[in-house]
């Protein structure tokens, strides 16, 4: 009985040791994934698809390498996994902002002091995008929303009202 108790104690002690040993590796893995995602963001520059693919592969590697450790700290594992996915999505949006932000273009323009700046090239480009993504259609030189465009406009309009973005 005593001997069995000893065995039980030593097993639980082993589990505790495993938990403590696995925990830092899970956390190191999480931070390494975040750092790798950021480095990939810097290195891939405007190659959006490349960043998206490599980023997902890095998160997959984190999952493969740590899901065995996660039995002892399952909450931490899911916190890190969700955090890494959201970090990846956030970096994707920031990359799109860097590529398309008119305010940044305006800042670059003020830096280079090159002639007058106009919104028209940007509006023309966005209209082309809207047509390509089937949000807007054109007939007799007038642009109108498609069904898909109307749904998105309704959603965005409601969000703008909630966020009081209307000027």
Residues 26 to 55 in contact with other proteins, rule: CB under 8 A: 26-27, 30-31, 34, 41-42, 45-46
Number of residues that bind other proteins (CB under 8 A): 79
CB of 13 to other proteins, least distance (A): 18
Taking the CB of residue 81, how many other CB atoms lie within 10 A of it?
18
Q: Which residues contact 79 (CB under 8 A, 6 or more apart)?
A: none
**Closer of 23 and 61 to other proteins (Cβ):** 23
User: In the complex with other proteins, which residue's Cβ is closer, 49 or 142?
Assistant: 142
As a whole number of angstroms, the distance between CA 97 and CA 128 comes to 18
- Give the 3-state secondary structure of residue 15: helix
**Strands, E assignment, 12-141:** 136-139
Smallest gap, in angstroms, from Cβ of residue 9 to other proteins? 22
Question: What is the smallest separation between the CB atom of 35 and other proteins, expressed in angstroms?
Answer: 11
Outline where DSSP puts E strands in the chain.
136-139, 142-145
Q: How many Cα atoms within 13 Å fall on the side-chain side of residue 73?
A: 20
Q: CB-wise, 57 or 123, nearer to other proteins?
A: 123
Q: Which residues, 62 to 121, sit near other proteins by CB under 8 A?
A: 73, 75-80, 82-94, 96-99, 101-112, 114, 117-121
Q: What are phi and psi of 99, to 5 degrees?
A: -80, -35
Least Å from the CB of residue 51 to other proteins: 11
> Which of 58/73 has CB closer to other proteins?
73
Asked if 161 touches other proteins (CB under 8 A), the answer is no
């Amino acid at each position: 009985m005593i001997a069995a108790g000893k065995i039980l104690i030593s097993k639980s002690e082993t589990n505790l040791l495993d938990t403590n040993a696995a925990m830092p590796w899970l956390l190191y893995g999480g931070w390494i994934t975040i750092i790798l995602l950021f480095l990939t963001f810097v290195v891939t520059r405007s190659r959006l698809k490349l960043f998206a693919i490599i980023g997902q592969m890095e998160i997959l590697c984190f999952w493969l390498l740590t899901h065995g450790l996660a039995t002892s700290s399952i909450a931490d594992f899911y916190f890190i996994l969700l955090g890494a996915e959201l970090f990846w999505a956030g970096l994707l949006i920031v990359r799109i902002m860097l590529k398309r932000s008119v305010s940044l273009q305006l800042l670059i323009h003020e830096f280079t002091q090159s002639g007058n700046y106009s919104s028209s090239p940007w509006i023309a480009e966005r209209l082309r995008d809207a047509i390509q993504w089937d949000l807007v259609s054109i007939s007799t030189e007038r642009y109108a929303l498609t069904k898909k465009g109307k749904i998105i406009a309704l959603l965005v309009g409601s969000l703008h009202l909630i966020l009081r973005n209307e000027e």
